[in-house]
Amino acid sequence: MIAAQTSKPWVQTLRLSLTGIVLFLGCWYLAVFFEITPRRFLPAPHEVLFRFIQLIQEPFVGFTLGQHLLSSFRRFLNGFLLAVAIGIPLGLLMALSRGVQLLVTPIFESIRFVAPIAWVPFAALWFGTGIGGPTLVIFMGAFPPVLINTYRGAIYVDRKYIEAAKMLGAGPIRLMTQVLFPASLPSIVAGLRISAGLGWQSLVGAELIVASSGVGYMMVKGQASIQTQIVMAGMIAIGLVGLLIDILLRRMERRFNRYQEVH
């Protein structure tokens, strides 16, 4: 009886999720059946699935789907890790120093509302189709959430811990690494989830223009040859990888939250 009650929420969640998927596919098939748009622009779900499987096995514009995804993921990691490497230390430093906060805030506030896709023309001009262009676009999408969440997590650390560390002779580096960073870790990890999502979305926008490989590039070539199945297969691949990244960071966030509760 207890086991049944424990598993019931999972069963209900699974049932509702499957129902949503079935309803979505049903609406899709109805749209295809009644030819709301020409078949070449809205293929049936099974046609997209067959093309998806074919792209995994056969190259399109020089690479298989897996190779395109690997190329995209490498670009994503370059921009995302750069955002983390700069955003976390800078956020901690802003929380520690009023002067640094006043120095950085005007510049940061003036650029963080610029959509990452708006950097694509500059990225194309500065870096062409090399790795620098997509890295810049991804960085501009991923950097603001990292910096903001790091700063917000660190600014609310109890000042008595900072003062106590200073009395024991801790310098700025030790204050950041041994006091502010551990205390603000849950907020930082939450920011990483947002940052990863925005960075992955920014990657696709960058690849639409300033890349010669990757899922976004594959979708552009599919659109140019009016192969809607390829475009939709690319969208599915993007969504699946983005979901996996979010699941990984969500599990990391839960572990850090449990660690904070224990300690």
Q: How many domains does the chain have?
A: 1
Let me know: does 182 contact 190? Beta carbons within 8 Å. Answer: no
- Classify residue 166: in a domain, yes or no: yes
The two counts, helices (H) then strands (E), for the chain are: 12, 0
Who has greater pLDDT, 67 or 260? 67
- Classify residue 39: in a domain, yes or no: no
- Classify residue 90: in a domain, yes or no: yes
Residue 40 DSSP one-character state: T
Kindly tell me if the per-residue pLDDT of 144 is higher than 90.
yes
- Classify residue 186: in a domain, yes or no: yes
- Classify residue 52: in a domain, yes or no: yes
- Classify residue 7: in a domain, yes or no: no
Which residue, chain included where needed, has tokens 């659109």?
223
Distance CA 13, CA 8 (A): 9
Range of the structural domain that residue 238 is part of: 45-262
Residue closest to 197 by CA, chosen among 135, 244, 152: 244
Give per-residue pLDDT as tens, 8-47.
777 888 888 899 999 999 999 999 988 888 888 899 999 9
Virtual CA dihedral for 117, 118, 121, 124, nearest 10 degrees?
-40
Give per-residue pLDDT as tens, 93-102.
999 888 999 9
Residue closest to 235 by CA, chosen among 112, 21, 65: 65
Q: Is the CA virtual torsion 63, 28, 204, 121 positive or negative?
A: positive
Give per-residue pLDDT as tens, 194-226.
999 999 988 877 787 667 788 988 998 998 888
- Classify residue 83: in a domain, yes or no: yes
Which CATH number belongs to the domain containing residue 213 in this structure?
1.10.3720.10
Whole-prediction pTM? 0.84
- Classify residue 163: in a domain, yes or no: yes
Distance CA 251, CA 225 (A): 40
